[in-house]
Amino acid sequence: MTTPKFVLTAPNHCIINGVLGPHHTLVTGAEGFIGRWVRSRLLSAGRNVISLDQKSNSTTPGIFYACDVTDPRQLQEIFRAHKLNSIVHLASLLPTASKQNPQAATQVNIAGTLNILEAARNFQVPRIVYASSLSVYGSSGASDTASEISPTAPEDLYGAAKKYAEALGEAYAC
């Protein structure tokens, strides 16, 4: 399978494989702190945003799905309903919740990411943005000098799951 060619044009349109159409971005974890900010910025830029989160919020602008990223069937229905051009994957259980419930953290942070990547592959979504964490670097990443080439040394389940999800993304990018 070849990777679709993706070019942004007007604020809410893009060209994929030579076909101009509306630009649809899926934001997972859309009700989280970063998710709300990303969604707001995309909407301000004129993007068509499809929001996805476990938390249902009737005030979410645009299209919203109360969906669990650990359920591939739910994701397939959403991907089938929308011709997505990009995904901003922010859904995760944060460090405290990960420590309190390691099984749920593994399901959301690793299996959920795998489900997003697999759905993106199956529905030929050309771009995915994944939010990792400084936690992948452990205490060695506590400064502002950590970068993608810094050695990783996660010290908790959250950091390890984020590091593993990065590796999944790299494997799917090949």
What's the confidence (pLDDT) of residue 100?
A: 97
Q: Please indicate, yes or no, if residue 86 is contained in any of the structural domains.
A: yes
How many structural domains comprise the chain?
1
> How confident is the model over 82-107, as a mean pLDDT?
96
pLDDT surpasses 60 at 17? no
> pLDDT tens across 62-82, in order?
899 999 999 999 999 999 999
pLDDT for 3 equals 44
What is the spatial distance between Cα 145 and Cα 133, in angstroms, rounded to a whole number?
14
Please give the pLDDT value at position 4: 42
What CATH number is attached to the domain comprising 35?
3.40.50.720
Q: What sign has the CA pseudo-torsion 145, 150, 156, 162?
A: positive
Annotated catalytic sites, by residue? 158
Predicted TM-score (pTM) of the model is 0.85
Residue 8 lies in a domain: no
C-alpha distances out from residue 152 to 37, 148, 161, 174, Å: 27, 9, 12, 21
Residue 164 forms part of a structural domain: yes
Q: Which domain holds residue 96?
A: 23-173
